[in-house]
Structure 1
Amino acid sequence: MSTTDCIFCKIIAGEIPSTRVVETDNVVAFRDISPKAPVHVLVAPRTHVPNVAAAAREIPEVLAEMAVVAQQIADAECDGEYRLIFNTGEKAGQTVFHVHGHVLGGATLGWDPA
């Protein structure tokens, strides 16, 4: 997929509307259109990379900034308590192949990953 076909690249460029929560020079955070929790915000880099492993290799400083932005959102919206989830691959539930973390919070989440 090219960046011209990527829905997140279009959202980040402002070509598709979104409800933005946080923006930095490197990261954009916006509300998920199909939330799975009271707080469900997607945190994505402005740079197109397909998944979290690629982000760790190619833009590690931006991946770290994504985690900081996730904490800022959680602090503002769900008392600092949240899950940060990265789906990698179609079988794992990734539907947009532009790395993004899901900030989920605001309620007791029914799934215990531990």
Structure 2
Amino acid sequence: MSCLFCRIVAGEIPSKQVYADEHAIAFLDINPWHVGHTLVVPRRHVDDLLGEPEALTEIAPAISATARLLVDRLAADGLNLLSSSGDAAGQEVFHLHVHLVPRFAHRPGLRELFVHEKDVDLDRVHRQIVGGAPAPGTVSRS
């Protein structure tokens, strides 16, 4: 299995998981643009949104639940949702994924979206989101 996200879904590569259900998992991005930057991926391999548009529908409940969880637990003022399909769009991992990026009033606007926060403590952020226990609504398949 060469797909990075398939290996994360299978548990072969550790992740800071914040949500899971029967169709998707959500985990913190290891190189976050902002505190709480999370990726939602389907459990099954799908290259991108254009190849199988119905896959986005399958993971929509996980996207919605994770977005609410991030905003609530991190006291975010807003949230950006982004998915890239294909090389030209900047897709780097060819497994469908949706970026959920909590946003805060001290760094508003799209110009600030891709400016990486420095020294984000992923362990602290993960604890803040999941509180040391599975998030409400989380279904584990391990």
Partner of 1:105: helix, strand, or coil?
A: strand
Structure 1 runs of 4+ off > 4 angstroms?
A: none
Indicate the percent of aligned positions where both proteins have the same amino acid: 33
Give the counterpart of 1:6 among 3, 7, 23: 3
Tell me which residue corresponds to 2:116: none
| Bigger relative contact order (CA 8 A; separation at least 6) | 2
Of 82, 97, 100, which aligns to 1:100? 97
Q: Give the 5 Å matches for 1:30-49.
A: 30-49=27-46
1:69 corresponds to:
65
Structure 2 length as normaliser, TM-score? 0.67
CA RMSD of aligned residues (A): 2.1
Q: Which residue number corresponds to residue 85 of structure 2?
A: 88
Q: Which residues of structure 2 form unaligned runs of 5+?
A: 114-142
- 1:80, 1:56 → 2: CA distance? 30
Q: Which stretches in structure 1 are left out of the alignment for 5+ residues?
A: none
1:27 aligns with 2:12: no
**Displacement, 1:87?**
1.1
Partner of 1:111: 110
Helix, strand or coil for the counterpart of 1:10?
helix
Structure 1 residue 110, shift from structure 2 partner:
4.3
Contact 1:19 1:30 in 2 (8 A): yes
User: Compared with structure 1, are the counterparts of its residues 85 and 62 closer, same or farther at alpha carbon in structure 2 (3 Å cutoff)?
Assistant: same
**TM (normalized to structure 1)?**
0.81
Which one-letter code corresponds to 1:71 in the other structure?
Answer: A
SS at match of 1:39: coil
| Structure whose CA Rg is larger | 2
Higher strand share: 1
Q: 1:30 to 1:22 in 2, by over 3 A?
A: same
Q: Number of residues paired by the alignment?
A: 109
